[in-house]
Structure 1
Amino acid sequence: MEFAFTEEQQMIAETAQAFFRDNATSERVRRAMAADGIDRELWAAFCRELGLSGIGLPEETGGSGLGMVELAIIAEAAGAQVAALPMLGSLVQAAQAIAAGGTQEQRAALLPDLISGEAIAGYFYDGALKVEGDRLTGGAHYVTHGASASLFIVTDNRGMWVVRADDPGVTVTAQTSMDQTRPFARVTLADAQGEALADPAAALAAAHRAAFIAVAAESLGGAQACLDRTVAYSQERVQFGRPIGSFQAYKHRLADMMIEIEQARSVVYWAACAVDEQSDEADLAIHAAKSFAADTYFRCAGDMIQLHGGIGFTWEHDAHLFFKRARSLQSMLGSGNWHRERIATMILGEAA
């Protein structure tokens, strides 16, 4: 399995990093937080001008092709700036599900608007969903960017349906979220009309694989940004006539962060590569990537606050944006303990 980036992948990484670094600024992220959690100008540029929104989606469905490694590269770059975009729910979960499990007509009708950013989709699971024909009753409390979605992909692990947000049976209520860069909404379905995807098993598998990898890669990008910003601060802040980064205890904390991040980088791209190569290790790898990378991000975000001292605790500093995103990612799509339990079951079977 080859872990080194190809020339094309390196070019995508450099392009994405420069795009988010130049455009997903702190000022713009905070403006988006005060609105609906989406930087609309950034979203339009990402989807239409840069053309990165179709990465990870097959060309025959309107995407740009390529695979999970390229998707991870984009997610890592976005995570490094805590970009306020609906990429996870709309392009990763919903679009992947439609591309893998939708009919040709469904893909043609839904994917172009999602890839162009004209439409935003929400995605959620409801284990108690009631299905009567094409009518659905149920809902979910925490749907990412649900208040901005024009359609929802709904699953109960047995089937998967497309539900329009303007259906009379759909009620969407914006929630107050800890991470305002990725707000949640409560979605309630009361005899709402659903259009079933043709192959729900394929749709569910594609959505899960892509989401675990994207969240893990986003966590990697955020953790690296925490380290980079803390190192820069350690060279600027002076105490007792010396930069604080010259003190041994401070350097040890930075070194610990770096070691954790490099391990996370290995597991994230192992998972992405395993999925692209259809390796037998793919399922194990994506659980390992999500649990390890998200936990690493949370530790690094906490260290970032502590190593910045008093300024790191203030609302004016961006450290709290990283910390809240890290905490959200840590609990999203299954906790680290849940993923580790899945790994143990795969390795040990009933003995787990």
Structure 2
Amino acid sequence: MTDPDVLQPDQDLLYSQAEQDLRSAVRAALAGHCPPQALPARCEGPEPYNPALWRALAREIGAAGLQVPEALGGAGASLRESAVVLEELGRACAPTPYLTSAVLATSVLLATGAEELGPLAAGERTAALAVPFSNSPYGPFPGGVRAGAAGELTGTVTSVADARAADLLIVPARGPDGPGLYAVDTARVTVRPRVALDLTRPLADLALNGAPGRLLAGPDRAADVLRRALLTGAGLLASEQLGVAQWCLDTTVSHLRERRQFGRVVGSFQALKHRLAELWLDIAGARAAARAAADALARQTDDAAVLVAVAASHCGAVAVRAAEEAVQLHGGIGMTWEHPVHLYLKRAKADQLALGTPGRHREALAALVELPAPAA
């Protein structure tokens, strides 16, 4: 493990050339398969996910297996590269199960050495972590599912992100010997869609009635593996929030450069310049926080939990503010269904509540740095 206080020359927070090349490839795929103006229509359709986009990301670019070693069929990269992908997916508000499958579920499978990694890395299958999407890394082990002596699972899990698109579920369950993580085929589980704020990331409730599960991690490791996966997800979610905020700023600036009012370009008004300048500074800070969290997770530094808590508590608020500003500064067009900006606002707000609220991450941060609460 590297010393977190020593920043190696090749481990700074700037984007490497390989990361920039990856960004260009992902952005090109998104431009061809997921332009923002097409999002409202896709979200109204029966299937919000675009299979062609997933094939481009997972199979042609190899993004699904970035953190999987080459020996197991992956690219042998790191979570820094996965963060770059998520930044671009946030920028496109892309309806794709990348965070849930290639980050959350894959993190569990990597920690347990599961055989399902190969098909996931190749993009042939997708997986989802069967916990409520609001679960933070700091809560107790879930208790909604019970495991029998033979691994049969019974119980319910609510608000699971991307469960409808998953072929495999990673289910936390309590068995006779204690907590465990189980791999379950989605076909053996009842999946009930539910209404979600974020139309680009569907939620579903799961009902398990004796579904056969294969034990991935037993009582000695299950809680730690799950916590680490949720921490990884929260840290990389900050990069997605960064991408959302950046698109909102870029699109708003472009709009204000073209719109005219009172014989002047709207963007020339000083009050709007100040608002956009403040937002730019907020996004610059969010970028530093998100990059630091991704780098710490990739290098497994001792301060990774601290940097994740900082990024998760800060980037969510920045993304929501950027989206709110985008809606307001687009004027009347920003309030219409046809313009995609409302989907970015919903994604930003839903992300702010996912994997722990900013307040929950601040509480954890205070404990991690031994900052006492104010006296009553």
Q: CA deviation at 1:54?
A: 1.1
Q: Does 1:130 align with 2:146?
A: yes
Map of 1:243 onto structure 2: 265
Of 133-142 and 232-241, the range deviating more from structure 2: 133-142
- Measured in 1, the distance between the counterparts of 2:31 and 2:232 equals 24
Of 216-225 and 92-101, the range deviating more from structure 2: 92-101
- SS of the equivalent of 1:197 reads strand
- Measured in 2, the distance between the counterparts of 1:21 and 1:281 equals 36
Q: Does 1:23 align with 2:33?
A: yes
Q: CA deviation at 1:100?
A: 1.5
Q: Does 1:13 align with 2:23?
A: yes
Map of 1:90 onto structure 2: 101
Q: CA deviation at 1:160?
A: 0.9
Q: CA deviation at 1:139?
A: 2.2
- SS of the equivalent of 1:160 reads strand
Q: Percent identity?
A: 35
Map of 2:59 onto structure 1: 48
- SS of the equivalent of 1:122 reads strand
Q: Does 1:70 align with 2:81?
A: yes
- Cα 1:213–1:351 change in 2 (3 A) is closer
- Measured in 1, the distance between the counterparts of 2:311 and 2:69 equals 23
Q: Does 1:165 align with 2:186?
A: yes
TM-score with structure 2 setting the length: 0.87
Map of 2:166 onto structure 1: 149
Query: For the Cα contact (< 8 Å) 1:99–1:203, is it kept in 2?
Result: no
Q: Does 1:289 align with 2:311?
A: yes
- Look up the equivalent residue of 1:16 and give its one-letter code: V
Q: CA deviation at 1:28?
A: 4.2
Say which of 42, 55, 76 aligns to 1:32.
42
What do the CA deviations read for 1:305-336 (whole angstroms, capped 9, x no partner)? 01111110110111101001101101111111
- Measured in 2, the distance between the counterparts of 1:56 and 1:11 equals 17
Q: How many pairs align?
A: 345
Structure 1 unmatched runs, 5+: none
Q: Would you tell me which structure has more helix in proportion to its own residues?
A: 1
Q: Does 1:329 align with 2:339?
A: no
Map of 1:120 onto structure 2: 126
Query: For the Cα contact (< 8 Å) 2:104–2:232, is it kept in 1?
Result: yes
Map of 1:192 onto structure 2: 211
- Cα 1:85–1:187 change in 2 (3 A) is same
Query: For the Cα contact (< 8 Å) 1:29–1:39, is it kept in 2?
Result: no
Q: CA deviation at 1:232?
A: 0.1
- Measured in 1, the distance between the counterparts of 2:228 and 2:76 equals 14
- Measured in 1, the distance between the counterparts of 2:357 and 2:268 equals 36
Query: For the Cα contact (< 8 Å) 1:92–1:210, is it kept in 2?
Result: yes
- Measured in 1, the distance between the counterparts of 2:25 and 2:215 equals 37
- Cα 1:54–1:183 change in 2 (3 A) is same
Of 291-300 and 207-216, the range deviating more from structure 2: 207-216
Q: CA deviation at 1:20?
A: 2.0
Q: CA deviation at 1:30?
A: 3.4
Query: For the Cα contact (< 8 Å) 2:87–2:242, is it kept in 1?
Result: yes
Map of 2:4 onto structure 1: none
- Look up the equivalent residue of 1:188 and give its one-letter code: A
- Measured in 2, the distance between the counterparts of 1:164 and 1:18 equals 33
What do the CA deviations read for 1:29-75 (whole angstroms, capped 9, x no partner)? 33432222211111111111222221122223221111111111010
Of 335-344 and 19-28, the range deviating more from structure 2: 19-28
Map of 1:255 onto structure 2: 277
- Measured in 2, the distance between the counterparts of 1:247 and 1:350 equals 44
- SS of the equivalent of 2:49 reads coil
Map of 1:175 onto structure 2: 194
Say which of 79, 86, 91 aligns to 2:90.
79
Question: Root-mean-square deviation (CA), in Å?
Answer: 1.9
- Measured in 1, the distance between the counterparts of 2:13 and 2:187 equals 45
- Cα 1:98–1:138 change in 2 (3 A) is same
Q: Does 1:226 align with 2:248?
A: yes
Q: CA deviation at 1:202?
A: 5.7
- Look up the equivalent residue of 2:355 and give its one-letter code: L
TM-score with structure 1 setting the length: 0.92
Q: CA deviation at 1:203?
A: 3.4
- Measured in 2, the distance between the counterparts of 1:29 and 1:211 equals 24
- Measured in 1, the distance between the counterparts of 2:15 and 2:254 equals 27
- Measured in 1, the distance between the counterparts of 2:309 and 2:117 equals 27
- Look up the equivalent residue of 1:224 and give its one-letter code: Q
- Look up the equivalent residue of 1:196 and give its one-letter code: L
- Measured in 2, the distance between the counterparts of 1:156 and 1:113 equals 24
Of 53-62 and 328-337, the range deviating more from structure 2: 53-62
- SS of the equivalent of 1:173 reads strand
- Displacement over 4 Å in runs of 4+: 349-352
